[in-house]
Amino acid sequence: MKRPAIKICGLTTEEAIDHVIARGASHVGFIFFEKSPRHVEPDVAAGLISHVRGRAKTVAVSVDADNELLEEIVYAARPDMLQLHGHESPDRVLTVKALFGLPVIKAFSLRTHDDLERVSDYDGVADLLLFDAKPPANATLPGGNGVPFDWRLLAGWRPTIPYLLSGGLNADNVAAALLETGAPGLDVSSGVESAPGIKDAARIDAFFDAVDACLMTA
């Protein structure tokens, strides 16, 4: 099995960035959503992304952001990619790509096969997909909030666009996730934290070690 792309999301410090890149992260994500404990302002992100430049792909993550916010993010921070983690339609994705000239990751929240079926509407539109769990009831943040979805939903599914598997991944379950889905990419945030928004070096190491151990035995 080929090593998947690994995106570590919700980074807020240079120390954490250096650690995940040293372990082989292909993408690093920065959250622009004020309700999130991982939120960074565009001027802060600019310094962090400058620190990364050329070592990994940088991803600016937003949730149903308007053009004004996206423009502020793009021109201050200069990310390599945009991740749209809200309810953005295919037309909205195309508009964002046309306005800013950057590749787009479109995130989807999955719970049932019906959720997966609408992904085909983004064929030829998004450059990369991200599959997360639907948020629990009364959640204030999008995504799985550290809870995985049923990976069996992806059994036998052959995407036309590469994807990142997200939602509740950690060192204890990432091997099972890879074996179940064969995902070409992984996305993790809270699974490598000691507290919301605080990346933990030991948990980062454990996650990458678990991925590598899985690849050696697959």
Whether 214 is catalytic: no
Active-site annotation holder among 121, 132, 172, 214: 132
Active-site annotation holder among 9, 18, 114, 209: 9
- The angle formed by the CA atoms of residues 134, 136 and 137, to the nearest 5 degrees, is 125
- The continuous run of DSSP H or E covering 81 comes out as strand 81-84
Spell out the long-range contacts of 152-155 with Cβ–Cβ below 8 A and sequence spacing 24 or more: 152/180, 153/110, 153/112, 153/113, 153/115, 153/116, 154/116, 154/180, 154/181, 154/183, 155/180, 155/181
Whether 80 is catalytic: no
Strand partners, 188: 8
- The residues carrying an active-site annotation are 9, 132
